[in-house]
Amino acid sequence: MRDHEKVDEEAGARTAVARMAALCKWPVGPNSALEEPRQVERLGGSIQAAEEPIQRLTQFGALFGAHESMLAVFSRVAKVAPSVASVLILGESGTGKELVATTIHDLSARRDCTFVAVNCGAITENLIESELFGHEKGSFTGALRTHEGCFERAKGGTLFLDEITEMSLEMQARLLRVLESGQFSRVGGEGDIAADVRVIAATNRDPAEAVVEGKLREDLYFRLSVIPIYLPPLRERGCDVTLLAAHFLHEMNCNAGTTKKLLRGARAELRDYGWPGNVRELRNVLQRSFVLSDGVIELQLDNALNQARRGVATAGGDTLIIPIGTSLESAQRSLIMATLHAVNGSKSKAAAILGVSLKTLYNRLHAYGEPLDRRLRVA
């Protein structure tokens, strides 16, 4: 690295941390929506300013947390944001991977340009090339006009590729070529276009396992994971559960002009629940409970999903026993079918429990020859 580039990057890091005060805009009310008050501390001039006792919730851009694991995430984000290094965000569904990506964008030199997010698992294989790189008019049946892809729409900004392991290996190879050459072409196009974007990728899978299973190209993995950022699941974040609940309820009360509080004893329920859907599930549960309550809020937990997850993972009547010597493919099929049985055939719940996208689950079931348009048979 040239000396002037090193100076620019260090200055950028200082600027990124200093900008956090401007990003922290959440109003703090005098009272908590839980049984006990909670405090919120905004991150100002340094990461160390957030390292207060346990009952303080720190806002860092679009992220909130008090647990040491989240403070480590904040520190890493502040350091990587002003750089040009590739970032791979790891974590279960619902942990806030896109929020990390937007915070990196907001702290970078690209913040005044567009942030574009793409869920690779939600786009069919025959459309993803056009969605990413665009296409020329008449390049295929139905291409009635020229279409700008995500790489063009994010020009000068950031492109966030979520669920990168759901992309086909062929598309991964093309993506790698674009990242290495800095150029791409539209489907049906002849000329090259400069790829002036910062690419941030994310996955809810273990990338090393995905490489072994043939779901992720090893060369692309190394290209994307210069700086890995791991987001811990909510169940491992200690007091963050109750602090986040207070934050979300504060927002809901402010928006609705109410002063609703949780039923006494809710703190224990919040701590004891497993939160398989992580922060996304916490917010949704609180939103549902808030809307359905007249005054005091009683938690409306999705206990069936939580019990099903525990039933597959722990001892009991629904325990899955896989004998030594069973092939990996057979073990995976047994786990998938047992999970579906535990949730009465609900594919969305099964996908959430297994930690895979709905598209991946459908692909596995199709490979097993299972019907996809009616309740699944369980062997």
Domain-by-domain residue ranges, the chain? 86-225, 238-305, 313-368
Average pLDDT of the chain? Answer: 79
The hierarchical CATH code for the domain 86-225 is 3.40.50.300
If you classify domain 238-305 with CATH, what class do you get?
mainly alpha
Nearest C-alpha neighbor of 87 from the set 180, 224, 211: 224
Q: How confident is the model at residue 223 (pLDDT cuts 50, 70, 90)?
A: very high
Q: Which has the higher per-residue pLDDT, 116 or 367?
A: 116
pTM of this structure? 0.69
Please indicate whether the domains covering 86-225 and 238-305 agree at the CATH topology level.
Answer: no
The percent of residues above 70 in pLDDT, for the chain, comes to 77
Rounded-to-integer distance, Cα 28 and Cα 24, Å: 11
The pLDDT score that the predictor gives to residue 314 is 42
If one counts every other C-beta atom within 10 angstroms of the C-beta of residue 146, the result is: 14
Could you name the CATH architecture of 313-368? Orthogonal Bundle (1.10)
Judge whether residue 30 has pLDDT over 90: no
Question: 48-91: per-residue pLDDT in tens?
Answer: 333 334 457 899 999 999 999 999 999 999 999 999 999 999 99
The pLDDT score that the predictor gives to residue 117 is 95
Q: Which has the higher per-residue pLDDT, 373 or 86?
A: 86
Determine which of 31-40, 62-71, 219-228, 271-280 has the lowest per-residue pLDDT on average.
31-40
**253: three-class secondary structure by DSSP:** helix
Cβ pair 92, 355 in contact under 8 A: yes
Q: How confident is the model at residue 372 (pLDDT cuts 50, 70, 90)?
A: low
**63: three-class secondary structure by DSSP:** strand
